[in-house]
Structure 1
Amino acid sequence: MTHGFSGRGGFDADRDQAPRAQLPPNEGEVLRGEGLRGGRPLVRYPVPTHAAGPGPGPGPGSGRGRAQRSARRRRNGRRIGVALFCLSLIAVGTVLWRAQGLVTGVVASLVLTFVYVLIEEFQRKDDPSDADRAPGRPAEMWPAHVDPYPPRPAPGRPYPQHPVHGGPHHLVPRASVPVSPPVSPHAAQSEQPSPPSPPSPPLPPSPPSVPDRPARGPDWPRPEVRLPEPLPAAPSPPRLHRKSKTSALPWRLPAAPAPPAMTADAATVGDLEVRAASLIGPGHRSDPTHAGPRQDAYRLGRDGRSAHLIVAVADGMSDSAHADVAAAVAVSALVNTVRQRLDEGDGPRTLDTGQVFLEAAQQVYAAAEQRGWSDEDVRTVALAAVLPTRPDADGGRTLWLARVGDPSGWYRGSDRWKPLFGAKKGGFDHGKLRHFLPHTPQQAESRRIEVGRGGVLALTTDGVGDALAQLPVAAGWFHRQWARPVTAHDLLLHIGYEAQQRNDDRTAVLVWWAPSGEPR
Structure 2
Amino acid sequence: MFEDFTKYLRAGPEQPIPQPRPTIDSPPHLGPDSPRRPGTDPASHPGVPAGAAPRPVAAPLVPVRSASAAEPCPPVFRPAELPTHAPVIGNRIVAQPYPALSGQPLALPTLRADGGVLGGRWLAAASIAGLTHQADATTAQDSYCAGYSVDGSALVLAVCDGLGYREHTSQVGADLLARLCCAFAAWIVREQALGDGTEALIRAVEQANDRLVEMQRMHLPEWEPADLHCTVMLCRVPLTADGGPALFARAGDTEAFLLRNAQYATVFAPDADAGPTNVVKGPLPHQNPREVLQVTAVDLDADALILTTDGLAHDIFDSPGTREWLAARWAVPCGPHRMLDSLRYRRQSSHDDRTALVAWLRPWTGDEVDDAADLR
TM-score by length of 1: 0.50
Which among 185, 190, 193 is matched to residue 338 of structure 1? 185
Q: Shift in Å at residue 305 of structure 1?
A: 3.5
With over 3 angstroms needed to count, the CA separation of the structure-2 counterparts of 1:429 and 1:498, relative to structure 1, is closer
What amino acid maps onto 1:310 in structure 2? Answer: V
Give % identity: 23
| Aligned partners of 2:202 and 2:249 also within 8 Å | no
Partner of residue 228, structure 2: 378
How far apart, CA to CA, are the structure 1 residues paired with 2:328 and 2:317? Answer: 16
Do the aligned partners of residues 470 and 424 (structure 1) sit closer, same or farther apart at CA in structure 2, a change above 3 Å counting? farther
Closer/same/farther in 2, CA of residues 389 and 430 from structure 1, 3 Å limit: closer
What's 2:213 paired with? 365
Select which of 301, 309, 312 maps to 2:158: 312
Distance of aligned partners of 1:333 and 1:425 in 2 relative to their CA distance in 1, 3 Å threshold:
farther
Change (3 A) 1:430 1:389: closer
Alignment-derived partner of residue 122 in structure 1:
none
- Taking the aligned partners of 2:283 and 2:165, their CA distance within structure 1 comes to 13
Instruction: Output one character per residue of 1:478-515: Cα deviation in whole Å (capped at 9) or x when no partner.
Output: 22221111221111111122111211011101111239
Q: Which residue is 2:323 aligned to?
A: 475
Secondary structure of residue in 2 paired with 1:412: strand
Q: Which secondary structure does the structure 2 equivalent of 1:504 belong to?
A: coil
**CA displacement, residues 124-155 of structure 1 (integer Å, 9 cap, x when unaligned):** xxxxxxxxxxxxxxxxxxxxxxxxxxxxxxxx
Q: CA deviation at 1:299?
A: 0.6
Instruction: Give me the whole-angstrom Cα distance separating, in 1, the residues matched to 2:360 and 2:150.
Output: 21
1:497 and 1:425 map into 2 onto residues whose CA distance is: 28
**Of 250, 268, 281, which residue of structure 2 is paired with 1:421?**
268
**What is the CA distance between 1:348 and its match in structure 2?**
6.0
Q: Which amino acid aligns with 1:468?
A: I
CA distance in 1, matches of 2:205, 2:266: 22
CA distance in 2, matches of 1:357, 1:315: 15
If asked which structure has higher relative contact order (CA below 8 Å, sep 6+), I would say: 2
SS at match of 2:235: strand
> What displacement does 1:376 show?
1.9
Counterpart in 1 of 2:126? 277
Cα contact 1:368–1:377 (8 A) shared by 2? no
Contact kept in structure 2, 1:322 and 1:378, CA below 8 Å: yes
Three-state SS of the structure 2 residue aligned to 1:286 is helix
Structure 1 residues 233 and 504: alpha-carbon distance in aligned structure 2, compared to 1, 3 A threshold = closer
Classify 1:271/1:397 alpha carbon distance in 2 versus 1 (closer, same or farther; 3 Å). farther
- Contact kept in structure 2, 1:458 and 1:511, CA below 8 Å: yes
Cα distance in 2 for partners of 1:406, 1:431 equals 6
CA distance in 2, matches of 1:467, 1:496: 13
**Structure 2: how far apart are the matches of 1:428 and 1:513?**
31
Q: 1:463 matched to which residue of 2?
A: 311
Contact 2:115/2:125 (<8 A) preserved = yes
**Cα deviations across residues 389-448 of structure 1 (Å, max 9, x unaligned)?**
2333xxx86211111111100011335211111216778766431111012511211111
Amino acid at match of 1:496: R
Change in CA separation of 1:349 and 1:238 when aligned onto 2, cut-off 3 Å: farther
Q: Write the distance in 1 (CA, Å) between the matches of 2:265 and 2:228.
A: 31
Do the aligned residues in 2 keep the contact of 1:349 with 1:400 (CA within 8 Å)? no
DSSP 3-state at the match of 1:341: coil
Q: Secondary structure at the match of 2:150?
A: coil
How many angstroms apart in 1 are the aligned matches of 2:82 and 2:348? 25
Question: Residue 337 of structure 1 contacts residue 359 of structure 1 at CA under 8 Å; is this kept in 2?
Answer: yes
Q: Mind listing any 5+ residue stretches in structure 1 that lack a counterpart?
A: 1-54, 57-231, 516-520
**Distance in 2, Cα, partners of 1:449 & 1:297:** 24
Instruction: State the Cα distance separating 1:473 from its structure 2 match.
Output: 1.5
Query: Shift of residue 323 of structure 1?
Result: 1.1
CA gap of 1:428–1:485, structure 2 versus 1, over 3 A, is closer
Question: Cα distance 1:349–1:505, how it changes in 2: closer, same or farther (>3 A)?
Answer: farther
Task: Report how far residue 359 of structure 1 moved.
Answer: 1.4
Q: Which moved more, 1:362-371 or 1:297-306?
A: 362-371
**Cα separation, 1, equivalents of 2:186 and 2:262:** 34
Distance 1:233 1:429, change over 3 A: closer
Determine helix, strand or coil for the equivalent of 1:502: coil
**Rg (Cα) greater in structure:** 1
1:265 is displaced (CA, Å) by 1.1
> In structure 2, the residue corresponding to 1:514 is in which secondary structure?
coil
1:469 is matched by which residue type in structure 2?
Answer: F
Tell me: CA distance 1:463–1:413, structure 2 relative to 1, closer, same or farther (3 Å): same
AA of the residue aligned to 2:117: T
Counterpart-to-counterpart distance in 2, 1:381 and 1:427: 15
Map of 1:252 onto structure 2: 100
Larger mean Cα displacement after TM superposition, 261-270 or 320-329: 261-270
Instruction: Count how many residue pairs are aligned between Structure 1 and Structure 2.
Output: 279
Q: CA–CA distance in 1 between the matches of 2:349 and 2:103?
A: 24
Hey, what's the Cα distance between the residues in 2 that align with 1:507 and 1:426? 25
Q: What is the 5 A alignment of 1:101-250?
A: 233-235=82-84, 237-245=86-94, 248-250=96-98
Report the counterpart of residue 262 of structure 1 in structure 2: 111
Cα distance change on mapping 1:272 and 1:286 into 2, 3 Å:
same
**TM-score, normalising length from structure 2?**
0.68
Q: Partner of 2:372 in structure 1?
A: none
Partner of 2:337: 489
Aligned residue identity for 1:307: S
| Distance in 1 between residues matched to 2:255 and 2:97, nearest whole Å | 29
* Separation (CA, whole Å) in 2 of partners of 1:414 and 1:493: 21
- Please say if residues 387 and 398 of structure 1, whose CA atoms lie closer than 8 Å, have aligned partners that are also in contact: yes
Structure 1 residues 388 and 319: CA distance shift in structure 2, 3 A: same
Structure 1 position 471, deviation (Å): 0.7
Deviation at 1:449, TM superposition (A): 1.1
Shift, 1:451, TM fit: 2.7
CA deviation digits over 1:214-234, x for unaligned, max 9?
xxxxxxxxxxxxxxxxxx953
Matches of 1:509 and 1:498 in 2, distance apart? 20
Matched residue, 2:257 = 410
